[in-house]
Amino acid sequence: MKKTAVIIGASGLVGGYLFEYFSKSIDVVGTTFKKDPANFETLDMRNEENVTKFFADHKPNIVFLPAAMTHVDRCETEPNESYSINVSGTKNIVECAARTGAKLVFFSTEYVFDGVSGPYSETDSPNPINIYGKHKMEAEKIVRGSATDSIIIRTTWVFGWEKLARNFAHATYNKLKAGEESRVPMDEISTPTYSKNMVAAIDYLLGKDFEGTVNIAGTDRLSKYEWAQRIANAFGLGDSKEKIKPLESDSLGRPAKRPKNAGLLTGKLKSLGFEPCSLDEALFDMKTALVGKDLELKREYWNPRKD
């Protein structure tokens, strides 16, 4: 019998790529918080009754949970709303996954760390410095304490082409292409993660029947200022590099603190046999898609370095 997967939060960057990738091989049902033209089902993960009915209707074998309140500053100023989605909502999904025997793939973040002594491995002790990170840490504990088989994915700075162009790489490309100024922190350091390569890694881990916590991130560790420079170079926008203005992150006056010296180590993922792609490979892949070449979603396309 063909497997069924549900993606809670299929309209976002990660959820969209999960849907596109896995719908090629298995039955996939996507959900979104609000009605979406992609015809995903509407589901409020905070509503326990609706979540229970959704699981009873679809009886999934695999549950992907990228849905979250991810606006870090909004989480800081609206902690109750953040808790209701990122903790209570997660609990509802986890409990239903456990009752139906589905495998859960839960998406967490490097923001469970303080960014003092990064990059971080899976065995480093969390110490979040903002509400978003604290609530994701609580959600991780719920997943680990449940009866369901699960994978906890810690990732960071996820990027790729997306409909709303909200991620850093897509937004920076749009600004530079339009000749607009891009003011970016030079003191926040992490490991940008290519969305399509991450989805391929998840498929690989599922094929290995992996359970536990694993970092999925890119191989390059750099600041957002350096990242913006690399984007300009990759897309032939070198003349626009003068529009990239470095600044200290604290000067932005954001409500939530960010981990500064962060990033995720991927030694565990590599030891399992999956090699993450480099930032240059990812940007080249984005450029290739932009000019309309090689658009068929083959495994080699999603992960150019996988044997």
Q: Which residues pair with 190 in a beta bridge?
A: 222
Instruction: Answer whether residue 127 is part of any domain.
Output: yes
The two structure tokens encoding residue 268: 């565990």
How many whole angstroms separate alpha carbon 236 and alpha carbon 57? 49
User: What are the percentages of helix, strand and coil residues in the chain, rounded to 5?
Assistant: 45, 15, 40
Instruction: Answer whether residue 307 is part of any domain.
Output: no
Which residues fall within 8 angstroms of residue 270, CB to CB, at 6 or more apart?
276
DSSP conformation letters of 191-255: --EEHHHHHHHHHHHHHTT--EEEE---S--EEHHHHHHHHHHHTT-GGGGGGEEEE-GGGG--S
CATH code, domain with 99: 3.40.50.720
Instruction: Answer whether residue 48 is part of any domain.
Output: yes
Instruction: Answer whether residue 19 is part of any domain.
Output: yes
The two structure tokens encoding residue 52: 């229970």
- How many residues appear in the chain? 307
Q: What's the pLDDT at 20?
A: 94
Domain total in the chain: 1
Q: What's the pLDDT at 34?
A: 81
Q: Are 243 and 180 in contact (CB under 8 A)?
A: yes
The two structure tokens encoding residue 92: 């509802």
Amino acid, single-letter form, for residue 145: G
Q: What's the pLDDT at 292?
A: 62
Q: Compute CA 24 distance to the chain's CA centroid, rounded to the nearest angstrom.
A: 20
How many whole angstroms separate alpha carbon 224 and alpha carbon 189? 7
Q: pTM of the entire structure?
A: 0.94
In which order are the strands placed within the sheet that holds 27-32?
Answer: 41-42, 27-32, 4-8, 62-65, 103-109, 150-155, 212-215
The two structure tokens encoding residue 289: 């898609």
The two structure tokens encoding residue 140: 């991780």
Q: Which residues pair with 120 in a beta bridge?
A: 264
Q: Are 169 and 192 in contact (CB under 8 A)?
A: yes
Q: Are 287 and 223 in contact (CB under 8 A)?
A: no
Q: Are 122 and 213 in contact (CB under 8 A)?
A: yes
Q: Are 265 and 119 in contact (CB under 8 A)?
A: yes
Instruction: Answer whether residue 95 is part of any domain.
Output: yes
Handedness of CA 129, 228, 184, 71 (dihedral sign): negative
Give the angle 247-252-257 at the CA atoms, nearest 5°.
105
Q: What is the pLDDT along the chain (307 residues), one digit of tens a residue?
A: 679 999 999 999 999 999 999 999 999 999 999 876 667 999 999 999 999 999 999 999 999 999 999 999 999 999 999 999 999 999 999 999 999 999 999 999 999 999 999 999 999 999 999 999 999 999 999 999 998 999 999 999 999 999 889 999 999 999 999 999 999 999 999 999 999 999 999 999 999 999 999 999 999 999 999 999 999 999 999 888 999 999 999 999 999 999 999 999 999 999 999 999 999 999 999 999 887 644 443 334 445 444 4
The label of the residue with tokens 């609530």 reads: 135
How many whole angstroms separate alpha carbon 81 and alpha carbon 33? 14
Instruction: Answer whether residue 92 is part of any domain.
Output: yes
Q: Are 176 and 229 in contact (CB under 8 A)?
A: no
How many whole angstroms separate alpha carbon 159 and alpha carbon 178? 19
Residue 46 domain boundaries: 4-302
